[in-house]
């Protein structure tokens, strides 16, 4: 499928009635499970990918090449639009971000997220003009071939500034971001204010506002177009594994070895791409 056709397929999921729930996969089996369940698009999770490699999250711990190959594999296995959680675009300059976007297109991704984080613990959020320039560069490189999500990480970085978050997301939309995203707004009112400010640009939300886990229906009432899960499903899977390990330590083999059977795994791994 050409980049423009993939772009249109993925964008249509954001603009239809009811929007899109998009789980984040971390390996081939999880991706095939989501596809088999009927999800229409999936995403990577930089956190889950790093953890699966025994590393902490961050672009300095997982290379651009590793993330591109991982995302491309998920796309080939499932035939679904894949949105790449690509940190700050893997680069210090707008030109570097543009290069990453072009590489994502070449690897068959349908979408890519560009954060305004800096990687500097002293100044974790980039200057406004720099952040906007990076999203603009991403949009220019995308050329309608890949969905660009501009992401403002104020809340994630301990800067609970709704006005600045809206200012950044509005600017991202104005320079052509297809979707905007601010992880963990504190409540539905704040989320609703974001949706209203950037309309008609679709808004992604990571599971829910940070004060409570909201339902899909609640998030849709404030106009959210896309709901992503980040590392939540990976963390849940690791929680189940830890429960099994505790059972094994106490000698409970039955509890420790209960899970998906090999026939089901085989059927998922041999699932034809639709």
Per-residue confidence (pLDDT) for residue 120, from 0 to 100: 84
Starting at the earlier edge strand, list the strands of the sheet with 203-206: 20-22, 226-228, 203-206, 179-181, 147-151, 111-115, 82-85, 42-44, 24-25
Per-residue confidence (pLDDT) for residue 3, from 0 to 100: 77
Residue 1, pLDDT > 80, answer no
Per-residue confidence (pLDDT) for residue 20, from 0 to 100: 97
- 3-230 domain in CATH 3.20.20.60? yes
What residue spans define the domains of the chain? 3-230
Q: What is the Cα–Cα distance from 257 to 124, expressed in whole angstroms?
A: 43
Per-residue confidence (pLDDT) for residue 178, from 0 to 100: 98
Taking residues 184-207, what's their average pLDDT?
96
Q: pLDDT tens digits, residue range 97-126?
A: 999 999 999 999 999 999 999 988 889 999
Q: pLDDT tens digits, residue range 226-269?
A: 999 999 999 999 999 999 999 999 999 999 999 999 999 999 99
Taking residues 213-231, what's their average pLDDT?
94
Q: Output the pTM of the full model.
A: 0.95
Q: pLDDT tens digits, residue range 142-182?
A: 999 999 999 999 999 999 999 999 999 999 999 999 999 99
Taking residues 115-142, what's their average pLDDT?
95
Q: pLDDT tens digits, residue range 44-94?
A: 999 999 999 999 998 889 999 999 999 999 999 999 999 999 999 998 899
Per-residue confidence (pLDDT) for residue 226, from 0 to 100: 98
Residue 9, pLDDT > 80, answer yes
Neighbouring C-beta atoms of residue 82, cutoff 10 Å: 30
């Amino acid at each position: 499928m050409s980049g423009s056709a993939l772009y249109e397929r993925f964008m249509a999921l954001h603009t239809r009635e009811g929007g899109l729930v998009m789980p984040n996969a971390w390996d081939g089996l999880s991706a095939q499970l989501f596809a088999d369940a009927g999800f229409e698009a999936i995403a990577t999770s930089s956190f889950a990918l790093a953890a699966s490699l025994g590393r902490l999250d961050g672009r300095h711990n997982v290379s651009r090449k590793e993330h591109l190959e991982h995302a491309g594999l998920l796309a080939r296995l499932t035939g679904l639009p894949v949105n790449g959680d690509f940190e700050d675009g893997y680069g210090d300059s707008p030109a570097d971000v543009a290069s990453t976007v072009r590489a994502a297109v070449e690897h068959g991704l349908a979408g890519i997220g560009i954060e305004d984080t800096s990687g500097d613990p002293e100044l974790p959020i980039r200057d406004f003009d720099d952040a906007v320039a990076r999203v603009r560069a991403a949009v220019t490189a995308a050329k309608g071939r890949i969905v660009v999500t501009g992401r403002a990480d104020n809340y994630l970085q301990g800067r609970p500034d709704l006005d600045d978050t809206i200012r950044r997301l509005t600017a991202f939309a104005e320079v052509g971001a297809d979707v905007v995203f601010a992880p963990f707004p504190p409540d539905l009112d704040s989320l609703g204010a974001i949706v209203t400010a950037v309309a008609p640009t679709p808004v992604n939300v990571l599971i829910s506002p940070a004060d409570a886990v909201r339902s899909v229906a609640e998030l849709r009432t404030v106009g959210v177009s896309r709901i992503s899960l980040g590392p939540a499903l990976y963390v849940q899977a690791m929680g189940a594994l830890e429960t099994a390990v505790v059972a094994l330590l106490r000698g409970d083999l039955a509890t420790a070895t209960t899970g998906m059977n090999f026939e089901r795994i085989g059927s998922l791994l041999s699932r034809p791409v639709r």
